[in-house]
Chain A
Amino acid sequence: MEFLNDVPVLGLLIQLVFYLVQVVMTNGTIILALATPLALGAMCGVMNERSGVVNIGIEGMMLGSAFTGWFVTSLVDQALPASPILVFGITPALLAGLLAAIAMGMIASLVHGWLSISLRVDQIISGTIINIVAFGVTGYLNLLLSRSSTPSGGKFTPFVPPDWLTDLPIVGWLFKMFLQQGPVTMSVIIIVIVLQILLFRARWGLRTRAVGEHPKAAETVGIDVIRLRYRNVIIGGAFAGLGGAWFTIDFGGSFENGMTNGRGFIALAALIFGRWHPVGAFGAALLFAAAGSLGIAIRTTPPAGQLGEILSSIPEQMFSALPYIITILVLAGVVGRSIPPAADGQPYERESAA
């Protein structure tokens, strides 16, 4: 591609596109893995906000689940050590940890639901409470546990796809990206697709959207708004719990204080950027994860020539800040417009239940 160096601007752009494609192809596996908590958090957001409940507590829910998953895994592993079986290096401990993480997400969601649906507390305060309490409780327990060095219960191992599949020309990297993953990451793709279909093609989806847009009208046609909101919020919590499990028993194998590190809020950004659609939010999560990988790739393997100089002169932090800036622009309608469900954030009060 050296000849492109002589073409002004256009040559650079073409080189840039090639470089981006190269980065995505070589880093596909890690991009999808890093997009996992963002996508699962965003799915939690879809479940909540499509039915009219704002949830900024995703961060705390994931943090709590990450801790619970790790803790239960190590407890069960100590109680009944077992050798890994089948794919993913599954042990009873890991399964128990995974289920515990999901349960934790659901419990946290139940609290959020109780506060925001039943008590009609401001939903943003409710989410804030979950964030602060999760940060405090996990930090407190983790420091206490670390004094007596709790051994890790291990983590899932990524699936190894057969070589002939990943070595296929052109599409091989895609198989690698989607198949060389742990179970949590693999489940994301299924969850996203199923949710997209259910939300726009099934009765449940129609009802959910009705409740999110105009709860009064939904109630008049016989939908139990309160019950539907509760159910969706709790199922959403399961997704956040799964996302939390990714941190400690799928991608990494240990817990650190505050390890979600704002990813719950990027998930919120992905949700908005994806316009409250499951597939859109998943795409946004991939984009945000790719932006992060690009920042790293430019440091480690910069492209040659002028393009390399230009890209290297962009501060690394710019790439990390990109998801947030994009979200603000999208929300402000500068690039496209993203409008939340009309009843998002509004507590529902039944008119004289008597």
Chain B
Amino acid sequence: MIRTLRAQLAVPVGAIVLALVVGAIVLIASSPLVTGHIDVMLPIRTYLALVQGSVLSFDGLIDTAVNATPLILVGLAVGLGFKAGLFNIGGQGQFLMGALAAAGVGAALANSGVFIALPAALLAAVIAGGVYGFIPGMLKAYTGAHEVVTTIMLNYVAIQLVGYAITGPLRATGASFARSHDVVDAALPGIINAGRAHEGHLGIIIPLIVVPLIWWLLYRSTIGFEIRTVGANPDAARYAGMRPRRIVVFALTLGGALAGLGGAAEILGVTRYMPASYSTNIGFDAITVALLGRAHPVGIVFAGILLGAMRAGAGLMQVQAGIPVQMIDLLQGVILFFLAAELVVRRVFRIRQAARGVEELQTVTRTYGGQTTAP
């Protein structure tokens, strides 16, 4: 048990360590632009600020949890896809549709009490996200349109839909910029001292409910077994009497619903209205989360918390060390690089080939040649 755990953790941890080293080199190399001279201590100051801003203070911890919530939910959406042999790049679009639905329903029910408005807004987000996952699922299963391309395209369609809805029918009257009405009653309540800058919100308990459910679904239910079988070998699954097409549609729809929930948590908990120019990189962040967590629900929780903490600490990093927040994107990309180039990590840390990577991934791009899923 301990041994397999260590084998599972070795590569992700190694990738993070190497990414921090690369980050340090970039920081030292660019230090003349920050402090005016080569500064070997800059990485230490930067990483210290990052840690301080994320886990060493109460506000930091709250911010970390708030940031981690959508990352975990969308990360689950991507991870679920991986398990079924699918590459869901549509996290961003599904997140946006969930956010839009939550903002729309939330604004419409703004004064009908928490117990009606909040569940209705969350449900709307789940449905909207689910529909947005259902579309590429159906396209993949029945026409062979590869989900990588269709989900990327749908991301941009979602951006335009949000722009249309918020500048058009959902636009708040009298607001100085294009945004929807406040969600008032549908807002996820703050958990400490409502009104403070770091009040957090009740949405951070959503992953605590959803993650065990997804774990149970994947590893203890029949449908989870089918998902994993289809992911590993669609042909074998079909010969065993399973229906890969349905599984493909199911996995992407459920993933979309989870990502939509993530969008709702962000809108109902953090902004509490939706601006027309809502920009997010969550789709790609979630891919990092899913890969770092090896597509396992528990791994995704840890990866989501790590990336959430990095985002939470970025503010302090900017103030204290003078490092732009884009450093986080850089670190994230480098982590992903080392995860992909496992070989490099293994060489550096002398890790033996024990834990296999996300095996399902091997089948993902193999289907790019455009075959329809077996019926």
Residue ranges of A at the interface with B (Cβ–Cβ < 8 Å): 54, 56, 115, 119, 121-126, 128-129, 131-137, 139-141, 143-145, 147-148, 257, 262, 265-266, 268-269, 272, 315-318, 320-321, 324-325, 327-328, 331-334, 339-346
CB pair B327 A119 closer than 8 Å: no
Q: How far apart are A288's CB and chain B's nearest CB, in angstroms? A: 11
CB pair A124 B330 closer than 8 Å: no
Complex alpha-carbon distance, A204 and B110, angstroms: 64
Q: How far apart are A9's CB and chain B's nearest CB, in angstroms? A: 27
CB pair B329 A344 closer than 8 Å: no
CB pair B160 A320 closer than 8 Å: yes
**Which residues of A sit under 8 angstroms from B30, Cβ to Cβ?**
140-141, 144
Identify A346's interface contact among B139, B153, B365, CB under 8 A: B365
Q: How far apart are A325's CB and chain B's nearest CB, in angstroms? A: 6
CB pair A145 B336 closer than 8 Å: no
CB pair B139 A125 closer than 8 Å: no
Question: Which residue of the partner chain B has the closest CB to A339?
Answer: B370
Q: Is the interface of B mostly helix, strand, loop or mixed?
A: helix
Interface bin, chain B: 35 or more
Question: Which residue of the partner chain A has the closest CB to B367?
Answer: A345
CB pair A332 B149 closer than 8 Å: no
Complex alpha-carbon distance, A121 and B361, angstroms: 9
Q: Is the interface of A mostly helix, strand, loop or mixed?
A: helix
Interface 1/0s, chain B 329-343, versus A by CB < 8 A?
111111011001101
Given contacts A331-B145, A346-B369, contact A317 B152 (CB under 8 A): no
Q: How far apart are B76's CB and chain A's nearest CB, in angstroms? A: 18
Q: Can you offer 22 A-B residue contacts whose CB atoms are under 8 A?
A: A56-B148, A122-B87, A125-B291, A132-B284, A136-B332, A137-B330, A139-B326, A140-B326, A145-B33, A262-B156, A265-B156, A269-B153, A316-B164, A317-B160, A317-B164, A321-B160, A328-B145, A328-B150, A332-B150, A333-B143, A334-B143, A339-B370
**Which residues of B sit under 8 angstroms from A128, Cβ to Cβ?**
89, 284, 287, 336
Q: How far apart are A126's CB and chain B's nearest CB, in angstroms? A: 6
CB pair B145 A115 closer than 8 Å: no
Question: Which residue of the partner chain A has the closest CB to B138?
Answer: A332
CB pair A132 B149 closer than 8 Å: no
B324 part of interface (Cβ distance < 8 Å): yes
Q: Which of B158-180 touch A at CB < 8 Å?
A: 160-161, 163-164, 168
**Which residues of B sit under 8 angstroms from A136, Cβ to Cβ?**
326-333
**Which residues of A sit under 8 angstroms from B333, Cβ to Cβ?**
129, 132-137
Given contacts A131-B284, A147-B33, contact A56 B152 (CB under 8 A): yes
B146 part of interface (Cβ distance < 8 Å): yes
Complex alpha-carbon distance, A129 and B30, angstroms: 21
Complex alpha-carbon distance, A98 and B311, angstroms: 35
B230 part of interface (Cβ distance < 8 Å): no
16 extra A-B contacts, CB within 8 A, seeds A136-B326, A328-B145: A122-B340, A124-B87, A124-B89, A132-B332, A136-B332, A136-B333, A137-B330, A137-B333, A140-B30, A145-B33, A257-B326, A262-B156, A320-B160, A321-B161, A325-B153, A333-B143
